[in-house]
Structure 1
Amino acid sequence: MLYLSKVADGSTDFFKVGEFGYNSAAADATWVTDVLSENCGRFDVTIPPALEAGDYLRRAEAIALHGASQAGGAQFFVTCYTVCVGVLCFLARCVTETAIRLDVVCSKSESLAEAARRRLASGSGAYSAADPGIQVDIWGGGCSEYTTPGPAVAYV
């Protein structure tokens, strides 16, 4: 799942811009991990064209479900960094730095992991252990109707 949050002071809510969980319509019933493996860890998402230009905190989440048949068994892997959205933003920065910067909005007194946990628990993107898509038995063959966790993808 991919979320964005407009970065001014780092306090705005995240909104989902992309997701992929389980594709039961595929000939071999594809999980996102299959897609990531085939694409060297990449998962492409189209940024909504009406998205306001500027800096955003980008949060990508991968949820390991191999132990998720019991509450608390899902494992969360979260990465966060800032991205610049918009042509002018990109052109202004491409001379001196890359368009994707690896700085994360966090205070000097907190670590990167603490900042991610704080933002993850701020409301959007926070899950309960029994939410659909979090507690699920992937080994029992009941995934044909897998529900990706979190809110619906936002179409800005």
Structure 2
Amino acid sequence: MEKTSSYTYFAICSNGEIDDRGLVAYEKGIFNPDDITNLLEIQPFRSCTYGDTRRIGSPYFFSCWDAEESDIDRLDIEAQCMDSIKNLKYKIPLLNQIKEKYDVNFVIMIVPSIYGEEPPVMSFNKEIIEFCYLTGTTIEVDMYVFSEKEKS
């Protein structure tokens, strides 16, 4: 039987427009993820560069860099967000340099998978809010909800 779980991560993604191809980066938003890795000295768990080929064969029209994934305390989103930013909160000047150089968005992504009536605890302390304010980071939720029937 599946149980409710969640994870969070920090993402840097090209700013752009959505069209029939999906997200298409503005020219200044195209970056090499290796440059971000080298600057921040943090290894991403996933990244793509504008022009890379997707598994389905079509190209990416944006760049992204995803790192600092956390699934600690399975139902405590605040603890996961703190874990995702723990190595980044000391690199705010570097993050702001990235924003100056590239047209990108910073996101703390929250991904809960909710089974039945067992929701995660979702709150944000002052430290998370301050980090988001100082870096222009948004918080997004990519939620998956499953009914009781889907549990088995």
* TM-score, scaled relative to structure 2: 0.27
* TM-score, scaled relative to structure 1: 0.26
**Higher RCO (C-alpha under 8 Å, 6+ residues apart):** 2
Going by fraction, where is strand more abundant, 1 or 2? Answer: 2
